[in-house]
Amino acid sequence: MALTFYWYPNCGTCKKAKKWFDEHNVVYNSIHIVEETPSKEEILELIENSELPAKKFFNTSGKKYRELNIKEKIQDASTEEMAEILASDGMLIKRPIVTDGNTVTVGFKEEEFQAKWANQ
């Protein structure tokens, strides 16, 4: 089954992940995270399957994150509230996000991709 690869084409980290997939012949469907931002429900599912805290899904180095003072907004926010904020703008989401429907990775670390996606 093909992986779902949420990415932003201008993102250097996303380009590295895409290159890794292509070099390892991994089949994936790419989704432009800004043009097709995941819904709140999709984000909640990704968070749940990732076993990561919801805060890990924020692009903390992004301009929008700083401009909108998201750090303050999510300090005491519930996972539901954070998912709603993430679904409001794809630029707030850390990328790339990769999932097979069960497993989820956020960001690109070659060792993690090797461990989780090499045999796809």
31 φ, ψ to 5°? -125, 125
Q: What is the pTM of this model?
A: 0.95
CATH number of the domain bearing residue 109: 3.40.30.10
Per-residue pLDDT of the chain (120 residues; tens, 9 = 90+): 799 999 999 999 999 999 999 999 999 999 999 999 999 999 999 999 999 999 999 999 999 999 999 999 999 999 999 999 999 999 999 999 999 999 999 999 999 999 999 987
Please calculate the CA angle 35-109-8 and round it to the nearest 5 degrees.
10
* Domain ranges, residue 95: 3-117
pLDDT of residue 8: 97
Structural domains of the chain, count: 1
pLDDT of residue 18: 98
Q: Name the CA dihedral angle for 82, 85, 86, 91, rounded to a multiple of 10 degrees.
A: -140
Q: Cβ distance 5 to 16 under 8 Å? A: no
DSSP result, 18-74: HHHHHHTT--EEEEETTTTPPPHHHHHHHHHHHTS-GGGGB-TTSHHHHHTTHHHHH
pLDDT of residue 119: 83
